[in-house]
A and B are shown apart, each in its own frame.
Chain A
Amino acid sequence: MSNSLTHILVSFAVLFTLLAVGGMLIWLERRLLALWQDRYGPNRVGPFGLLQVVADMIKVLFKEDWVPPFANKPVFIMAPAIIVTVTLMSFAVVPFAPGIQVVELNMGLLFFLAMSSLGVYSVVLAGWASGSKYSILGGLRSSAQMLSYEAFMGLSLMGVVMLAGSFDLNRIIEAQRDGWFIRYQFVGFMLFLIAGTAETNRLPFDLPEAESELVAGFHSEYSGLKFGLFFVGEYLGITLISSLITVLFFGGWLGPWLPPLVWFTLKTFFFICLFILLRASLPRPRYDQLMSFGWKVCLPLAVGNLLLTGAWILMKG
């Protein structure tokens, strides 16, 4: 009884922490971008502008929630819910610290890959259901981009799986007690970073959104809370990819002196900042460049990495 109660408490704690983090990242991103552009960013509302999140949320909640008459209404309403649901579902398998995990799936990594693939539907359906040209262009781009980056995202992780001998994220972390997997899987890490950026539609791979070309891409027609859900979903996606990089390549909650949860948070925070730095510094590639980079560079690299890792494991016997 008390066991299941703890379990429920942990689940709710994870849920609320993640939603809060998703909100706070909006503030963090704005402050960091400002820092890298020699500005201040939001620093007026509350200490260091921390309450800017509250102000933003109030604004989003009270905006008119408008469904365009030319939209496909049920799909239009469903689309933003999918991305948040699916991203939160993926967090179910992430081990934040020993014992702090929603479900201990022995197929955790596969579950994550499946869920992140479902995330494509949100963007594609939003683009299609909006019934406007910019949205459909964004949706088309995202379907092509996310599907092609999905392919080597899975492959780039297989090296880690082979080294750990398991899809269970806990066992992957335990396998890194002697050393983080980044030592053997640097190529895998780079590929996963690139694929993760593309999966979450973050710059430099934000072609589905592409403000400068497509107004706002797939969410041009969205307003109010639905837009807010896309927004939070994107930041949850960053958090998810960062925490998975931490788990898979940087030893998760392993670390000396500090408690495991602190280590996990620190490492994840570092990668979130890296994502924001990438946004601050890189230009968006052209569409054909993006596709050829995915299929002609990243996919062969992922396969080669997989082959080499397999050969190395066989040689060690």
Chain B
Amino acid sequence: MFSILRSILTVFMTMFRKRITVQYPEERSTLAPRWRGRIILSRDPDGRERCVACHLCAVACPVDCISLQATEDQMGRRYPEFFRINFSRCIFCGYCEEACPTCAIQLTPDFEMGEYLRTNLVYEKEDLLISGPGKYPGYNYYREAGLEIGGKAKGEGSQDEPPVDVKSLLP
């Protein structure tokens, strides 16, 4: 009996508490920088695509929403011929970002992707590419790695050591 009255009173007193609802379109809650939202493809500091079309993101994707086709330019630099993410399938798990060796694919704090047509949720490369480096400023895969491309020989990468002549016995 007492507990019934007390629960009525408790519920009544919640009237004077602040409401926790965020009135969404007018006010917005702050999203964390690591929030997993709309996927983008970033560029390196030189303004070129970071993606090397290694397909690791497509392999990591549990719902198979990423499809791409690799190709190479004259300098021997790999890039995706097309890069397509079907956001009507994407579950925003972030595995693609974890899998990416070149920090190209990134998830951003944005979720407002509503569309009236399902086909509009299929984003092509030009929809995904942004002009900046995203979360990793200054990182340039081709500058750091040892891969030989036009204008950079083996061993010239910043994380790379000069190649060793395996046929020589000298230290």
Contacts and interface: CB of A to CB of B under 8 A. Distances in A.
Interface of A: 34-40, 277-278, 280-282
Contacts of B19: 34-35, 38-40
Interface in B18-52: 18-21, 23
B11 A36 contact: yes
B17 A38 contact: yes
Chain B interface, >50% SS class:
helix
B24 to A, nearest CB: 11
Contact of B11 (A34, A40, A280): A280
B125 to A, nearest CB: 38
B23 A40 contact: yes
B161 to A, nearest CB: 61
Contacts of A37: 14
Contact of B20 (A39, A278, A282): A39
B15 A35 contact: yes
A37 B11 CA distance: 8
A278 B14 CA distance: 14
Given A36-B12, A40-B19, A40-B23, 18 more contacts: A35-B14, A35-B15, A35-B19, A36-B14, A37-B14, A38-B14, A38-B18, A38-B20, A38-B21, A39-B20, A277-B8, A281-B7, A281-B8, A281-B11, A281-B12, A282-B4, A282-B7, A282-B8
Contacts of B11: 36, 277, 280-281
11 contacts: A35-B14, A35-B15, A35-B19, A36-B14, A38-B14, A38-B18, A38-B19, A39-B20, A39-B21, A277-B8, A282-B4
Contacts, number: 34
Contacts of A39: 19-21
Interface string B2-16: 001001101110110
Chain A interface, >50% SS class:
helix
Given A35-B15, A36-B15, A38-B17, A281 B10 contact: yes
B21 A278 contact: no
Contacts of B23: 40
B8 to A, nearest CB: 5
B15 to A, nearest CB: 6
A40 B21 contact: yes
Contacts of B10: 281
Nearest to B8: A281
- Most chain A CB neighbours (cut-off 10 Å) among B4, B11, B17: B11
Contacts of B17: 38
Nearest to A32: B15
A38 B11 CA distance: 10
A241 to B, nearest CB: 17
Nearest to B18: A38
A108 B21 CA distance: 47
Contacts of B14: 35-38
Contacts of A36: 11-12, 14-15
Interface in B64-119: none
Nearest to A281: B11
B4 to A, nearest CB: 7
A122 to B, nearest CB: 29
Q: When A and B form their complex, which 4 residue pairs have the shortest distance between CB atoms, in order from nearest?
A: A281-B11, A281-B8, A40-B21, A38-B19
A285 to B, nearest CB: 10
Nearest to B6: A281
Contacts of A278: 8
A76 B81 CA distance: 64
A11 B48 CA distance: 79
A40 B27 CA distance: 14
A277 to B, nearest CB: 6
A34 B11 CA distance: 11
Contacts of B15: 35-36
A34 B21 CA distance: 10
B76 to A, nearest CB: 57
Contacts of A280: 11
A5 B20 CA distance: 53
A280 B17 CA distance: 15
